[in-house]
């Protein structure tokens, strides 16, 4: 009875408030329009040009609704008509595609003695890539990343302000709560506070992720593990790393150290005592 009265008094389930979860958004017309627009955009991001009829069939909404969706996406500069399909009866149907220049992202790999930066458009096509050997693994990591991004954007002919997001892969443990790097043996300057510094310097969303975890996400999306919900990726490089995907989601562990198996004791092998 107490639970029922709490729910009725606030219009929100008490369990949601107790767990700190945000209340579910109601199915308003604006939310439905947003969901429809995202569905159409996701289909076009696969790289194919589609007609209104094809989008209607794939999304399950009417052609009238599809026309409204495309009009909104065109108004925002996200999609455009790129030609026509003359294979059917009646007038030619317009083909729609994503505008590649509507958004750009930067992806970086940071390791001792290496900073690799790639700039890609919204379709995922890499338009510029720069690999550099910094003089030292120490120094200011924020300035190092900012300079690397500047050079990659110059080669791509894209302003840094046009980048929508940055993803940085590096060895080491990433805090699952704050997103900050916590332990990167080969990168002494790669520590807590770097993420906030990068977001302040670049003025955009920045994500730092363990490099092996990113490799597992890529394999799950388009590689050997595509269509597989549960798998393990073993990485052999300077060290030994591992990433685990369970139920289609990356398993990080409570402290973010899941997969850090470099010093894992192996049955039958001598235990290393000097780990300085």
The count of C-alpha atoms lying within 13 angstroms of the C-alpha of 67, restricted to the half-sphere facing its C-beta, is: 5
**Starting from the edge strand earliest in sequence, which strands make up the sheet with 240-246, in order?**
231-236, 240-246, 249-251
For residues 96 and 83, the answer to whether their CB atoms sit within 8 Å is no
- For residue 145, what pLDDT is reported? 92
Q: What is the mean pLDDT of residues 45-69?
A: 91
Ordered by start, the domain boundaries in the chain are 29-99, 102-215
Look-up: residue for tokens 């389930």? 13
pLDDT tens figures, 100-109: 999 999 999 9
pLDDT at residue 88 greater than cutoff 70: no
Question: What are the beta bridge partners of residue 98?
Answer: 79
Let me know the angle formed at the C-alpha of 39 by 76 and 54, rounded to the nearest 5 degrees: 100
Neighbours of 219 (CB within 10 A): 17
Whether domain 102-215 has CATH 1.10.486.10: the reply is no
Question: Which position has the higher pLDDT, 102 or 91?
Answer: 102
The CATH topology of domain 29-99 is Arc Repressor Mutant, subunit A (1.10.10)
For residues 133 and 113, the answer to whether their CB atoms sit within 8 Å is yes
**3-class DSSP state for residue 244?**
strand
- For residue 19, what pLDDT is reported? 47
For residues 169 and 210, the answer to whether their CB atoms sit within 8 Å is yes
Q: Do domains 29-99 and 102-215 have the same CATH topology?
A: no
Instruction: List the one residue out of 99, 83, 119 whose CA is nearest residue 41.
Output: 99
The count of C-alpha atoms lying within 13 angstroms of the C-alpha of 125, restricted to the half-sphere facing its C-beta, is: 13
pLDDT tens figures, 73-83: 999 999 999 98
pLDDT tens figures, 146-201: 999 999 999 999 999 999 999 999 988 999 888 988 888 778 888 888 999 999 99
Indicate the burial class of 45 (C-beta count within 10 angstroms; 0-12, 13-18, 19 or more).
middle
Q: What pTM does this model have?
A: 0.76
């Amino acid at each position: 009875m107490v639970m029922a009265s709490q729910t009725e008094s606030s219009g929100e389930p008490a369990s949601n408030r107790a767990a700190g979860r945000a209340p579910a958004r109601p199915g308003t017309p604006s939310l439905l329009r947003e969901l429809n627009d995202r569905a159409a955009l996701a289909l076009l991001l696969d790289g194919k040009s589609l007609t209104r009829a094809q989008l209607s069939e794939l999304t399950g909404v009417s052609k009238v609704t599809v026309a409204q969706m495309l009009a909104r996406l065109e108004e925002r500069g996200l999609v455009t008509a790129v030609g026509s399909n003359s294979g059917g009866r009646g007038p030619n149907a317009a083909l729609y595609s994503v505008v590649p220049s509507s958004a750009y992202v930067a992806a970086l790999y940071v390791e001792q003695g290496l900073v690799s930066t790639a700039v890609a458009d919204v379709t995922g096509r890499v338009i510029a890539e720069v690999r550099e050997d910094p003089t030292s693994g120490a120094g200011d990591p924020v300035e190092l990343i900012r300079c690397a991004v500047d050079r990659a954007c110059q080669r791509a002919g894209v302003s840094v302000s046009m980048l929508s997001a940055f993803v940085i892969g590096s060895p080491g443990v990433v805090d699952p709560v704050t997103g900050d790097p916590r332990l990167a043996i080969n990168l002494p300057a790669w520590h807590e506070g770097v993420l906030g510094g990068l977001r302040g310097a670049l003025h955009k969303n920045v994500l730092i992720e363990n490099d092996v975890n990113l490799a597992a996400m890529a394999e799950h999306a388009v590689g050997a593990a595509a269509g597989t919900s549960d798998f393990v990726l073993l990485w052999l490089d300077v060290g030994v790393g591992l990433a685990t995907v369970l139920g289609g989601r990356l398993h990080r562990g409570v402290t973010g150290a899941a997969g850090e198996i470099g010093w894992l004791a192996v049955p039958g092998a001598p235990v290393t005592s000097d780990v300085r």
